[in-house]
Chain A
Amino acid sequence: MKILVPIQLVPDLVEELVIAQDGKRLDLDATRWIISEFDDHAIEQAILLKEKIGGEVTVIAPDFEGTEDVLYQALAKGADQVVKLSGDFQSELNTHALARLVVHYLQTKSERPDLILTGVQANSSLDGSLGPLLAAYLDLPFVDCVAQTEIEDQKITVRKEYPGGLTADWSVALPVVLGIQAANTPPRYVPISKMRLAMKTGSIATEEVGELDLSGAVDSTRMYTPEADQRAQMIDGDVDQVAEKLVALFKELGVL
């Protein structure tokens, strides 16, 4: 069983986000990158499947600042192969372009994966779902919002989550693309000792990408920090004073 996990890096929200000069996007040079949370689950799910039935897991990521760490971490977790798509696209790449890069990478290989797992979405763009694009380009079936994945005799059963607390179990034949919302168990911890070992003994394959086709993405017209709501009111004073003012305010508003 060959499993491919294409992943994305997204801005780390713990760090400061700076809006670029043009007022339309983030200043990507000032951004610190982190693996998209859902892609982390996709890697975990791939490793869990491999641990159960064997196979080969390949993780592929565009070359951002921080990609190497993420890939070494994937190796430390048990990935067999990690691939860095190399090109100067940190400031330009969008999900559509990335999907085309992954498809192009697959076209250069003789074997197709049986399973493509990717995070259900990435928070860095409005259309941050890589899965449906890959499925469309590769003409494969696709199940989204997968929160559990079981495998038995080349047949996959996935639990798909719907809005409103509904879930459904689907049987899917391989090959298939899955949009992973959650792995069966949370992503495992990589101790530093294992990370250091992976960096010493593992290696990252590099694939040069050619010209980028950036078409298809959502065009942003303006990016700005949320503007303060006029009705927000700060209440000063010690605890008792604040409580008193709050009660008066609630009465005035008719909620008490």
Chain B
Amino acid sequence: MLEARSLNQLSGMPDEVVSSIITDPALRSCIQCGTCGGVCPFGYLMDYPPVRVIAALRADVFSKVFTSDTIWMCVACSMCSTSCPAQIPLTADLMSRLKEEMILQGSVPEELQTALENSQRYGNPLGEASRKRADWTRGAGVPVPIFGKDVTQADVLWFVGDYASYHPRALRASQALARLLRLLNVDFAILGNEESSDGDSQRLAGEHGLFELLAEKNGRVFKKYKFKQIITTDPHAFNALKNEYPLAGISYPVQHSTQFLYERIDQLKPFLRREVKARVVYHDPCYLGRANGIYEEPRALLKAIPGLTLVELPHHHKTSLCCGGGGGGMWLDGFQWEKSHTRLSEWCVQEALQLKAGVMAIACPYETPRFEDAIKIVSHTDGLAIKDVCELLLESVGTES
């Protein structure tokens, strides 16, 4: 249960966040078409999907919005923003500001609070020690240089990210990418324990101050070393580095790992010798696809693998279904399940099963654990495996290379 502390604050003088919403000129162009609530995967459970928030604002009953905790069903998937005919930035602006106000009022689901506190203290939402951030490299099978320890400059700074560093399943994709980069003779290095969470999901969960703090920390570390560009496997880190950090003056060329590998596809192809005989669906991560328009590079990489058949999910490209991990969803599983008795990741897995896919390929470190967990819950999932694009590429290379 949530404690709605000091709600009366709202009925009195509106604070900074509330007044920034009330006076937002972008919201005036809303035509109340209802598209946002309709396309929202959890819209049917929200007391106030974007359309109703704006209606409440216009009816001068805005404070009512904060009496419901269903705003925490928003997984920041960007479906509403990309579908809105008035092009209102609903996800990054309206929804995350509402969440920010909820946080300021003290109405934060406990699981989310833990993740935010962990991010403050340890620099990652998982609550792991920062000194363990590069532990995954030990299992990579190839050397992974660390800035400050092994080198002070490299062509490529690989921003590994939280889940790709710590999560025991997700880090296997990092290990696969390390091998691929070696194979391609890329001069790269990671930041090791100097890296902090990119903060993107914390921002989309409403903790804007925490995002700024983490961005500042990373920005200071970036400055210490020489590199030409940043790459990352994490679409949230990618989104933050590409679209949000520059607003704070932290600006570097950045590519998602699938873009980076795609640019080198001719160099990579001769190594893809082994057949990977599988019917594969590719799941577009919200912050790679919808939010940043990267759809074709991961697909092209998959198509380069001999033996692999790529089929499209019913929801793909712009309409891809969110895995449920964004916008704090990674840390709201219990809360959201209590309200919905389902998980978005289960819907995605069911779509893959309808197509009799053998592999669901992904390109986001949130997704491997989420979809593998979903497989444990959905029935008749025999034979469906979840694999990162990097893992599939490495499978085709073979481990002896």
Contacts and interface: CB of A to CB of B under 8 A. Distances in A.
B129 A191 contact: no
A186 B110 contact: yes
Nearest to B202: A192
Which range contains the number of A residues in contact with the other chain? 10 to 19
A34 B104 CA distance: 23
Interface string B102-119: 011010101001001100
Contact of B120 (A51, A188, A192): A192
Interface string B198-215: 000000000111101100
A14 interface: yes
A192 B3 contact: no
A191 B210 contact: yes
Given A185-B3, A189-B116, A189-B117, A194 B104 contact: yes
Interface residues of B, number: 23
Given A14-B122, A193-B209, A188 B103 contact: no
Given A14-B129, A16-B129, A16-B131, A192 B210 contact: yes
A196 interface: yes
Contact of B106 (A15, A189, A192): A189
Nearest to A196: B209
Contacts of A51: 5
Contact of B209 (A185, A186, A192): A192
Contacts, number: 38
A192 B213 contact: yes
Given A14-B122, A196-B209, A189 B103 contact: yes
A192 B121 CA distance: 11
Nearest to A14: B129
Interface in B84-106: 103-104, 106
A188 B108 CA distance: 8
Nearest to B17: A193
A195 B209 CA distance: 9
A14 B121 CA distance: 11
A120 B296 CA distance: 58
Nearest to A12: B121
7 contacts: A51-B5, A186-B110, A189-B103, A189-B108, A191-B104, A191-B209, A192-B213
Interface centre among B106, B108, B208, B212 (most CB of A within 10 A): B106
Nearest to B128: A14
B248 to A, nearest CB: 14
A184 B108 CA distance: 16
B334 interface: no
B127 interface: yes
B127 A191 contact: no
Contacts of B116: 189
Interface of A: 14-16, 34, 51, 185-186, 188-189, 191-196
A229 B237 CA distance: 43
Interface of B: 3, 5, 103-104, 106, 108, 110, 113, 116-117, 120-122, 127-129, 131, 207-210, 212-213
Contact of A192 (B108, B127, B131, B207): B207
A185 B108 CA distance: 12
A54 to B, nearest CB: 15
Nearest to B6: A51
Contacts of A193: 104, 208-209
Contacts of A194: 104
Contacts of B207: 191-192
B105 to A, nearest CB: 10
Contacts of A186: 110, 113
A51 B9 CA distance: 14
Contacts of A191: 103-104, 207, 209-210
B338 to A, nearest CB: 17
A14 B108 CA distance: 23
A189 B113 contact: yes
A58 B104 CA distance: 23
Nearest to B214: A192
A15 B131 CA distance: 8
A15 B104 contact: no
Contacts of B3: 185
A15 B127 CA distance: 10
A195 B116 CA distance: 13
A195 B207 CA distance: 12
B103 A14 contact: no
A185 B3 CA distance: 8
Given A14-B127, A14-B128, A191-B209, 7 more contacts: A14-B122, A15-B129, A34-B121, A185-B3, A189-B108, A191-B104, A192-B212
Nearest to A197: B209
A188 B3 CA distance: 10
Contacts of B127: 14
A196 B108 CA distance: 19
A91 to B, nearest CB: 22
A189 to B, nearest CB: 5
B314 to A, nearest CB: 32
Contact of A188 (B5, B128, B208, B209): B5
A199 B391 CA distance: 46
A84 to B, nearest CB: 20
B114 to A, nearest CB: 9
A38 B113 CA distance: 17
Contacts of B117: 189
Nearest to B207: A191
A191 B232 CA distance: 28
Nearest to B119: A192
